[in-house]
Each structure stands twice: as structure tokens, then as C-alpha cells.
Amino acid sequence: MSSIRTIGRFAPPDPGNGDGDAVHFCSTCAFGEVCLPGGYDKPALLELHCLVEHVGPFHAGDPVFRNGDRFESIFAVRAGTVKTSLVDEEGREQVLGFHLPGEMIGLNAIHPARYPCDAIALDTVYLCRFSFPALATLATRMPGIQQQLFRLLSADIGKAALLAGDYNASERMAAFLILLADRFAARGFSPTRFRLSMSRGDIANHLRLAAETVSRVLRRFQDQSLIRVEERDIELLQPDELRQTARCILHP
């Protein structure tokens, strides 16, 4: 049996200087539609590009922002994975979500004017930082940017509710894998082979399960030849079957 350890890892080209690959990253980004030339006049586009600041690298465990920090910016993930979570007064963590390249974080901070959660890098992370006041001002002049902001905000509503239903462990786990696969696919990565950048504990927490249950479900899926697991590398052998298991979570 061949190992799958050497596949499925998307080794991100170092986006440190962020020049040569700017277009590549923007094309997979939630803001790509407005960042990339698409009907906008050059001066307006320049303004947008001016207020984008490339930040990083963050390393595993580094905070991007902390619960309670004053809100100033929203971020787009350029490379790596960011975990958002809350820690209650008793110190128990609650994982709200994982954010892949092209996805935004910080949108839920506009209203309280403070970040309402922690954002922690799970691996090596590069971000685009958008000053929100500047973005909002620009949005009054560029309807396309306003539209995109409305869309991004609207799309985030209820995203967390997907996993909130009273589903069993298999349905949750299947939905988690399929949602990940779809998000990878949307960004041009392989939807059938990928590497989980988060620990079993984080997955379990996010799905409101015990880490032991995650282990057991993954093993059951593997015994049913639905997936192949090797450490954090995942291969979806029968994605349609998984999708079927998760349909009650995914379809509504």
C-alpha cells in the first residue's frame, strides 16, 4: 500500500514579497472579484490596492487578533489556515471555524467594534489586511465594493448554524469533510486529497463532539472504504457517499 503522506499538501509558494504572485492569490480570494481588474477604472483599483496590506508570516499558534481587541481591519487569508475560537471564563475553548485561503476573517467584529473571538494561525499563514474604515469609505464611491462587502457579510450569516442542528456524529463528520472539500475545490485545490491543518481536538470541538468520537467515526469511515486516513492526510474515496450521509446538513 502506497503512502499518501507525500500528496495533497499544498505547499504555498512564499508570498512574502507578494508581488509576482499577487494575481494568483487574488484570483482565489473572496475579494478577488473587486481586487482584480474587472470593469473598474484604473484609479479606483489603485485606491483599493493601496489600502491592502500584506501581513505575515504567522506561525502555528500565533494570534492574528484576540477577543476584545479593538476592531480596525478585516483580513483575507492568502495562505495557511486560521482558526477562530472563543474561550469562556472557565477556560473552555469553543472553536467557531476554520478559514482557508481566499476566505475572510473579522467580519463579525464590525458591530461590537471589537473582535468577538480569537483568531489563531494553525500553520504558516499569510494575510491581506484591509483597514475597515478606509474600505467603508471607498465603498461609498465604488458600489461594487459595497456590494461585495454586503455579500460577504450576508454569506457569513448562518454559516455556523449548519453544524448546529441535532445531527449525529457521522453526519457532522461527513458534512465537515465535504464542506472542506468543496472549499478546497473552489480555490483550485484537490477536493479529494487534502491535509487537515487542525488537530482532532479542534475538529471535535468545532463539531461539538469528543475527540474520541472523531477518531471512531474516521475509523468507521475508513473501514467502510469511504475515506483513507493517514494521520492528518485525508483522501475521499467515495465523496458522493459522504455527501449522501451529510445531505440533511448540506442541502437545506
Name residues contacting its own copies, limited to 198-237 (CB under 8 A): 208
Stretch binding DNA (CB under 7 A), from 67-75, 81-89, 114-122, 216-224: 216-224
Q: Which of 151, 168, 219, 244 binds its own copies (CB under 8 A)?
A: 151
Stretch binding its own copies (CB under 8 A), from 20-28, 121-129, 138-146, 219-227: 138-146
Q: Does 209 bind DNA (CB under 7 A)?
A: yes
Pick what 223 binds: its own copies, DNA, none; C-beta below 5 to 8 Å, kind-dependent: none
**Distance in Å, CB of 232 to its own copies, minimum:** 23
Q: Which of 17, 92, 223, 231 binds its own copies (CB under 8 A)?
A: 92
Stretch binding its own copies (CB under 8 A), from 3-11, 122-130, 164-172, 186-194: 164-172
Q: Does 96 bind its own copies (CB under 8 A)?
A: yes
What's the Rg (C-alpha) of the chain? 19
In whole angstroms, give the CA distance from residue 117 to residue 108: 9
Pick what 41 binds: DNA, its own copies, none; C-beta below 5 to 8 Å, kind-dependent: none
In whole angstroms, give the CA distance from residue 164 to residue 114: 25
Pick what 232 binds: DNA, its own copies, none; C-beta below 5 to 8 Å, kind-dependent: DNA
Of residues 17, 119, 132, the one with CA closest to residue 58 = 119
Contact 127/55 with Cβ under 8 angstroms?
yes
Comparing CB distances to its own copies, the nearer of 41 and 166 is 166
Q: Which residues form the interface with DNA (CB under 7 A)?
A: 166, 168-170, 199-201, 208-216, 218-219, 229, 231-232
